[in-house]
Chains A and B, each alone.
Chain A
């Protein structure tokens, strides 16, 4: 079979492109550690979040040297706590669940974005950099007040976080 030289070039470049795309995704996972939202979380009773030890009191708590866990409840039509206050240059795991219907949780302008399904806990771990203030929007239509459903994520300096530690806990 005769294959034109250009065709060979085209085939070679196509293979290079495929390998490069796979390589990019591999690099993303291995280098910066990009991860997906897993479905391995234990389920919760969305009707009884008040009795759930994690979600009865939406909050941010320190669990390690520089590690924090945030427990966030979404409902028609807000997020709690608001604002979610976390320290800069730390690792924060957000556990987000819904009290009523499906909501979205998108920290605007960032890669933190997940669906919130009642009964399920969406867990995403992010690394914060400099102090910043982000908006959070619900990006799943959830009812008449969907368009006003918003939250805040405040990344504050370590010292500021410690100062306000008393009231956020």
Chain B
């Protein structure tokens, strides 16, 4: 990103490459994210809107 910061950042960040790749954490968070989205879809669209007598006014 910022050229200036990179210059001050020290050797470990030179070149902008990602040396620290917590792929396990990324995967785990990805799974959490998917659960969250699926749960929301289920709770709102299936359980809530799918019930009888939706209040419309």
Q: Could you tell me which A residues sit within 8 Å of B by CB distance?
A: 1-6, 9-10, 13, 17, 20-21, 24, 28, 32-37, 91, 93, 107, 109-112, 123-129, 132, 134
Partner of A35, one of B2, B26, B53, B56: B56
**Once the chains are docked, how many angstroms separate the CA of A10 from the CA of B52?**
37
Q: Could you tell me which B residues sit within 8 Å of A by CB distance?
A: 1-2, 5-6, 9, 13, 16, 18, 20-22, 25-26, 29, 33, 36-37, 40, 44-45, 48-49, 51-57
**Interface residues of A, dominant DSSP:** mixed
Q: A2-B6, A6-B26 are in contact. Are A112 and B55 (CB under 8 A)?
A: yes
Report yes or no: B33 in contact with A132, Cβ–Cβ below 8 A: no
**Once the chains are docked, how many angstroms separate the CA of A21 from the CA of B44?**
10
Report yes or no: A33 in contact with B56, Cβ–Cβ below 8 A: yes
Report yes or no: B29 in contact with A93, Cβ–Cβ below 8 A: no
**In the assembled complex, how far is the CB of residue B8 from the closest CB belonging to chain A, in whole angstroms?**
10
**Once the chains are docked, how many angstroms separate the CA of A21 from the CA of B20?**
32
Q: A1-B1, A21-B40 are in contact. Are A126 and B54 (CB under 8 A)?
A: yes
Give the one of B6, B33, B40, B52 with max A CB within 10 A.
B52
Report yes or no: B57 in contact with A13, Cβ–Cβ below 8 A: no
Partner of B56, one of A3, A17, A125, A134: A125
**In the assembled complex, how far is the CB of residue A69 from the closest CB belonging to chain B, in whole angstroms?**
12
B40 — which chain A residues lie within 8 A by C-beta? 20-21, 24
